[in-house]
């Protein structure tokens, strides 16, 4: 609280502090609330600077890694979708290997799914860098491997006295489904945001939440400061009015 400049006001304040039972308590509370308000205002200013630095850092990193905002898919969402695609690839590969690799079917299916995932990643890089020749080579290689898988499936079931051409058609359908999943995975990978953007965005969001919390505390402290100041000034004003004795009443200035 600011010390009053008027001698009469200082005299009244001193009298209140010496004689009134609530005087020192109200003055101490007003000073305490004023200090908290100033402290919370400084915290808000610092939190704002941190938030702005985190936001600019995130935006500059995005401008550098994705200047045209082509990679807009959220990294976490893409991971979940790719995990589902990988599980579907494992199932389809297991069906392709049924009757051929009975003892190692699960391990072979997982390995094949991992290979298809790697193929999708290479295709995504080729699409992102616009290397059409590499993309064509990847598609041709995938077609050859798919034909071998379809033939392997028909051979495995033919040993069990089943119509070979019908089972080959089933194998082709399975390969087409695998190709569709690989194509979807490649598009997802190509459109997914860079992984380094994730921690940068989290820092920005965390600093934004910290700033919002600091603003709420500042508003609460500012309100408490006003209430405590009004209580102290009201007590002094009441004492000044009581001691005026018919003269001009002393007005307590805002502190």
Residue 111 has which token pair? Answer: 């390995």
Residues 118 and 144 in one domain: yes
Q: Using one digit for the tens of pLDDT, what is the confidence trace for 129-187? A: 888 888 888 888 888 887 777 776 666 544 444 455 556 677 788 888 999 999 999 99
| Residues of the domain holding 139 | 73-192
Do residues 96 and 185 both lie within one domain? yes
In percent, the amount of the chain with pLDDT more than 70 equals 84
Q: Does 201 reside within a domain?
A: no
Same domain, 180 and 82: yes
Model pLDDT for residues 14-64, shown as the tens digit of each residue? 888 888 888 888 889 999 999 999 999 999 999 999 999 999 999 999 999
Q: Are 138 and 190 in contact (CB under 8 A)?
A: no
185 and 128 assigned to the same domain: yes
pTM to 2 decimal places: 0.72
Residue 250: which pLDDT band, with cuts at 50, 70 and 90?
very low
For residue 209, being part of any structural domain is answered with no
Element (H, E) at 100: none
Instruction: Indicate if 113 and 174 belong to the same structural domain.
Output: yes
Contact, 209 vs 55, CB < 8 A?
no
């Amino acid at each position: 609280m600011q010390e009053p400049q008027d001698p009469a006001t200082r005299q009244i304040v001193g009298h209140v502090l010496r004689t009134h039972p609530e005087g020192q308590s109200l003055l101490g509370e007003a000073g305490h609330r004023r200090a908290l308000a100033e402290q919370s205002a400084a915290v808000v200013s610092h939190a704002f600077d941190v938030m702005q630095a985190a936001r600019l850092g995130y935006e500059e990193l995005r401008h550098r890694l994705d200047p045209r905002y082509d990679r807009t898919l959220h990294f976490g969402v893409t991971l979940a979708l790719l995990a589902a695609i990988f599980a579907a690839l494992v199932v389809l590969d297991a069906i392709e290997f049924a009757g051929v690799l009975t003892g190692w079917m699960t391990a072979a299916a997982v390995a094949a799914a991992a290979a298809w995932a790697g193929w999708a990643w290479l295709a995504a890089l080729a699409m992102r860098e616009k290397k059409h020749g590499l993309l064509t080579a990847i598609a041709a290689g995938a077609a050859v491997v798919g034909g071998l898988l379809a033939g392997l499936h028909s051979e495995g079931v033919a040993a069990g006295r089943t119509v070979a051409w019908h089972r080959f058609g089933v194998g082709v359908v399975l390969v087409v489904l695998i190709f569709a999943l690989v194509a979807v995975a490649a598009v997802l990978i190509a459109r997914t945001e860079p992984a380094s953007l994730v921690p940068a965005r989290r820092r920005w969001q965390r600093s934004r939440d910290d700033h919002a919390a600091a603003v709420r505390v500042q508003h609460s402290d500012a309100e408490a400061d006003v209430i405590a100041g009004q209580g102290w000034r009201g007590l002094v004003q009441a004492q000044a009015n009581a001691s005026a004795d018919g003269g001009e009443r002393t007005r307590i200035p805002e502190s």
